[in-house]
Structure 1
């Protein structure tokens, strides 16, 4: 599984959809920007929260996007492990499967670690 290709393909699909519903896309973009503007929590912590939700909700494209963002925000594999453990504790077996996907995505986005 190539997570970089999956993210690129999803971005392409989103661009097509965004042209079909531009006002919705604009609204969601504004919401996303506002949610990511760290006030008390830093961006890395916010991305860990988003990743935990992505795993619990079984959203594979979300996992790819948030793992990529986490790597850029300075997350570590060890921190990722803690978050994956909590996501599994909260979501049981299905979250265990998606946590494994998140770890695979991490290893692809950060090959030097």
Structure 2
């Protein structure tokens, strides 16, 4: 019997992936309300405008997502970058730093991030 092949990350459609993650976490957000409220508060506080702009913070988060090889994180942070009006040049420069810091594995996930970038149209990212 031939076993079906497991989907690869390149099969991911990032808008769908982020929607699925959000749906999958809904019961967890309910059962672990205090924990998830704390996580949400931390996320909002850390990404708020300050000495660094929200866009710069999302670029940092995206670089970490690539270097840590987190497909879901890539999806959510690139969606935010598109919403914030990040240019392709800014995005690709960030990927260069992520690859420098993460080596070959980060390069493979940089390809994933480029795929996510193309899948999140600027208007669709709101």
Q: Report the TM-score, using the length of structure 2 for normalisation.
A: 0.85
RMSD of Structure 2 on Structure 1 (CA): 1.3
Q: Which among 9, 31, 34 is matched to residue 42 of structure 2?
A: 31
Give the corresponding residue for 2:120: 109
| Aligned-partner Cα distance in 2 for 1:53–1:88 | 10
**Count of aligned positions:** 112
Runs (4+) off by over 3 Å: none
Out of 89, 96, 99, the residue aligned to residue 100 of structure 2 is 89
Report the TM-score, using the length of structure 1 for normalisation. 0.94
Asked whether 1:57 is paired with 2:68, we answer yes
Q: Which residue of 2 aligns with 1:3?
A: 14
Q: 1:18 aligns with which of 22, 29, 36?
A: 29
Q: Quote the Cα distance in structure 1 between the aligned partners of 2:120 and 2:64.
A: 20
Unaligned runs of 5+ in 2: 1-11
Residues 71 and 111 from structure 1, CA distance in 2 versus in 1: closer, same or farther, beyond 3 angstroms? closer
